[in-house]
Amino acid sequence: MEKIKERKKQAWDNMIYSAHRLDLLIVSFCGAGIYVCLEIIKFSATKSLPCNILIKICGSCFLIAVAFNFLSQHYGLKANQNDYLMSDAMLEAEDTNLSDIKKNLLQFEITKFDKLSEKNSKLTARFNTYCIIVLFIALAIMLIYFITTF
């Protein structure tokens, strides 16, 4: 019973943590990248210079990385919510005064929440990977732009 309570507490802590993790760093990099791209476009416009397509692609990649990051956050939250609900059902199932029908229903809920949590965890990992890949692509494009332009 104590292990289940600890798991429930851990699921809650993970739900809070998932809102504060590495995503802040990714959003900061992307925000700074978008700002740099917009400043370069503004500079090009004021000097009547053609705006290089690389900088537009770079800015788009930063925006896509932010979108992937939001999707990752969404699915991470859902995974932790389902894990929390599963822990709740597990605690309730430990009650010895429950009927067999109620225990079977709770076991069904436990299985359902476990599968949903696993599915959302996989989506979270996938979108985190996409986000990081697109972020590095954007940084590489920006580096290429600066090397070829200045």
Q: Which two tokens stand for residue 125?
A: 């990992």
Confidence of residue 19 (pLDDT cuts 50, 70, 90): low
Q: How far apart are CA 95 and CA 147, in angstroms?
A: 67
Q: Indicate if the pLDDT at residue 87 is higher than 70.
A: yes
Instruction: Enter the pTM of the model.
Output: 0.81
Q: How far apart are CA 22 and CA 29, in angstroms?
A: 11
Q: Indicate if the pLDDT at residue 135 is higher than 90.
A: yes
Section 67-91 average pLDDT: 93
Cα–Cα nearest to 37, from 16, 77, 10, 64: 64
Q: Indicate if the pLDDT at residue 78 is higher than 90.
A: yes
Residues 6+ apart with CB under 8 A from 125: none
Q: Indicate if the pLDDT at residue 130 is higher than 90.
A: yes
Measured at the CA of 122, the angle between CA 119 and CA 128, to 5 degrees, comes to 140
Cα–Cα nearest to 118, from 148, 71, 149, 78: 78
> pLDDT value at position 138?
98
